C-alpha cells in the first residue's frame, strides 16, 4: 500500500532567543548556580570570577551562533536574569531549577494549547492521532483531550509514541502505516476520503529541562543545542491523498532502523527528580561513521537502485544531533553542499528540536522548488545507539 505524508502545520513557541543571548544566559545561570552551591563554600569564588569561568567553558563547548542562530522556547525565564522572578529557575530555592512535577504541569498546559491551535479549523476526524514527544508525559494527554473535546471518541484512536528521542518520527511513521493498512483490511474500503488518514503531532519542549547544576562539558553542548519544536502532519493512503487536495507530499518507499551493538552507553535520556537528563558520549560521531555506510547500503537494498547510482540526485534530511553531525555524514558519504542545505538551514533557524526536527526539514523540502520525483533520504540518531532512516519520493 502506498502511503504519503503531507498537510504539514508548524507552530512556533512563544519566545525566540538568539543564540548569542542564549549562550550568555546559560553561562550566567551556571555561574550563579555554582556560586550558590553550598559544596563550594570553602574557597568560594566571587560571582565575577565564576562568570568568567563559565563564559570560557561555554565558549569552548557550546554550539556557536554561526551554526545555530536562534532557538524557540515557551519559558520567559530565558529572556532575563532576575533570578528571584524566574518561574522555573529561581536558583536560590534550588540550583537545579523547579521540581519535575512543576515542569510537567507546564508541559500539560502548553501541549493542550498547541493541540487546540492545530485542530482549531479541522472538522473531519482522523482515524488515528499519534502523539510524539520525549519531553513530557501526562494522562490524559493533549491528544486524548482534543479527541474528547471534539466528540471524536467513537471514530479516532489515540496512540502515544513517547521517550524515543530524536529519531521518533520514524517509529511514528511505521505505526501510522500499520494503522492505515489494518484499517483498510478491516474496512475493505477504497473510498476516496481525507478521513482515511493518521495525524502525527510532535510537541517537544526541550528547553523545559535545563538544569544549571549539571556542569559537565557535555551538558553545555546539550543545553546550547536544543530548542522547542511543534509540528503536525498527516499520513494518507494514495486515494485519500488525492482527495485531500494536497499539492505535494512525500511517498514512503523504505523505513529502516538498526541498533548498533555495544553502544548503549553512548547516549541516554533519563528522568531525574528535577528534569529529564541527557548524557552524550564523545564516541557518538565515530560510531555513526563506522556504521552509516552499511546502514545506507542496507536501506537501499530494499529498493531497485543502489545508493551510488542515485546519491548525486538525492536530497538529504539529516537530523542534527549536533552541528558536526551533518558535516560528518556529508564528508563520509561524499555529499554535495546543496543536498544537505535544508537540513543545515533548519538547524540554524531553530536548533535541534528533538523528534520535531526532521518533520520540519520534510516540510521545507515540500515548500521548496525541488521537483516531484526526487528522492529524499532521511537519517536520525538516538539512544540505543539507534540509527533510523527512510527513503521517500516527492509526489
Cα–Cα dist 33/53, whole Å: 13
pLDDT (tens digit, 9 = 90+) per residue, 87-130? 999 999 999 999 999 999 999 999 999 999 999 999 999 999 99
- Scan for cell 556542569, then name that residue: 215
On whether the CB atoms of residues 32 and 47 are closer than 8 A, the answer is yes
Query: 359 lies in which domain range?
Result: 250-394
Cβ contacts of 43-52, under 8 Å, gap ≥ 24 = 51/27
As a whole number, mean pLDDT of residues 348-374 equals 97
Total count of domains within the chain:
1
Q: In whole angstroms, how far apart are CA 27 and each of 15, 52, 82, 91, 250?
A: 19, 9, 14, 14, 41
Residue 260 falls inside a structural domain: yes
CB atoms within 10 A of CB 145: 17
Q: How many CA atoms lie within 13 Å of 212's alpha carbon, on the beta-carbon side? A: 29
- Among 195, 178, 174, 194, smallest CA distance to 186 is for 178
Please check whether residue 319 lies inside any domain of the structure. Answer: yes
The CATH number of residue 297's host domain is 3.40.47.10
Alpha helices in 262-322 (DSSP H): 284-300, 307-310
Q: pLDDT of 234-288, one tens digit each?
A: 999 988 898 888 899 999 999 999 999 999 988 999 999 999 999 888 888 889 9
Q: What does the mean pLDDT of the chain come to?
A: 94
Task: Record the pTM.
Answer: 0.95
- For residue 274, give the 3-state DSSP assignment: coil
Is residue 305 a part of any domain in this protein? yes
The model's confidence at residue 62, banded by pLDDT at 50, 70 and 90, is very high
User: Is residue 382 assigned to a domain?
Assistant: yes
Candidates 162, 170, 179; CA nearest to 295 is 170
Look at residue 184 in the predicted model and tell me its pLDDT: 80
* Within-domain flag for 34: no
Residue 164 domain flag: no
**Residue 389 included in any domain:** yes
Instruction: Report the half-sphere exposure of 85 (CA within 13 A, side-chain side).
Output: 7
How is residue 104 written as a grid cell?
Answer: 510537567
Q: Is residue 191 part of a domain?
A: no
- Is 150 within 8 Å of 179 (Cβ atoms)? no
Amino acid at each position: 500500500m502506498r502511503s504519503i505524508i503531507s498537510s504539514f502545520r508548524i507552530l512556533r513557541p512563544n519566545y525566540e532567543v538568539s543564540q548569542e543571548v542564549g549562550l550568555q544566559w546559560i553561562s550566567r545561570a551556571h555561574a550563579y548556580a555554582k556560586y550558590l552551591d553550598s559544596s563550594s563554600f570553602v574557597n568560594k569564588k566571587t560571582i565575577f570570577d565564576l562568570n568568567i569561568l563559565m563564559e570560557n567553558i561555554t565558549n569552548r563547548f557550546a554550539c556557536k551562533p554561526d551554526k545555530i542562530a536562534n532557538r524557540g522556547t515557551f519559558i520567559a525565564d530565558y529572556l532575563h536574569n532576575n533570578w528571584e522572578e524566574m518561574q522555573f529557575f529561581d536558583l536560590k530555592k534550588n540550583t537545579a531549577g523547579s521540581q519535575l512535577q512543576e515542569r510537567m504541569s507546564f508541559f500539560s498546559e502548553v501541549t493542550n494549547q498547541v493541540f487546540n491551535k492545530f485542530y482549531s479549523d479541522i472538522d473531519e476526524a482522523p482515524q488515528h492521532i499519534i502523539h510524539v514527544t520525549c519531553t513530557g508525559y501526562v494522562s490524559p494527554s493533549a491528544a486524548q483531550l482534543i479527541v474528547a473535546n471534539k466528540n471524536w471518541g467513537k471514530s479516532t484512536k489515540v496512540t502515544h509514541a513517547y521517550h524515543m528521542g530524536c529519531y521518533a518520527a520514524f517509529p511514528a511513521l511505521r505505526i501510522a502505516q500499520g494503522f492505515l493498512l489494518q484499517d483498510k483490511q478491516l474496512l475493505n474500503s477504497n473510498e476516496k476520503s481525507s478521513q482515511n488518514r493518521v495525524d502525527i503531532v510532535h510537541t517537544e519542549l526541550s528547553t523545559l529541562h535545563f538544569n544549571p547544576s549539571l556542569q559537565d562539558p557535555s551538558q553545555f553542548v546539550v543545553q546550547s543545542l536544543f530548542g522547542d519544536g511543534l509540528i503536525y502532519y498527516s499520513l494518507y493512503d494514495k486515494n485519500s491523498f488525492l482527495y485531500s487536495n494536497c499539492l505535494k507530499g512525500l511517498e514512503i518507499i523504505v523505513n529502516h532502523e538498526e541498533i548498533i551493538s555495544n553502544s548503549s552507553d553512548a547516549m541516554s535520556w533519563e528522568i531525574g527528580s528535577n528534569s529529564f537528563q541527557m548524557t552524550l558520549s564523545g564516541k557518538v560521531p565515530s560510531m555513526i561513521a563506522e556504521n552509516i555506510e552499511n546502514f545506507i547500503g542496507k536501506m537501499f537494498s530494499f529498493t531497485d537502485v543502489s545508493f551510488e547510482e542515485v546519491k548525486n540526485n538525492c536530497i538529504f534530511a539529516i537530523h542534527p544531533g549536533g552541528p558536526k553531525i551533518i558535516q560528518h555524514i556529508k564528508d563520509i558519504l561524499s555529499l554535495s553542499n546543496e543536498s544537505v542545505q535544508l537540513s543545515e538551514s533548519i538547524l540554524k533557524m531553530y536548533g535541534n528540536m528533538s523528534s520535531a526536527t526532521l518533520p520540519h526539514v520534510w516540510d521545507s523540502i515540500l515548500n521548496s522548488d525541488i521537483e516531484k520525483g526526487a528522492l529524499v533520504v532521511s537519517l536520525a540518531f538516538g539512544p540505543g545507539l539507534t540509527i533510523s532512516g527512510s527513503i521517500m519520493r516527492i509526489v
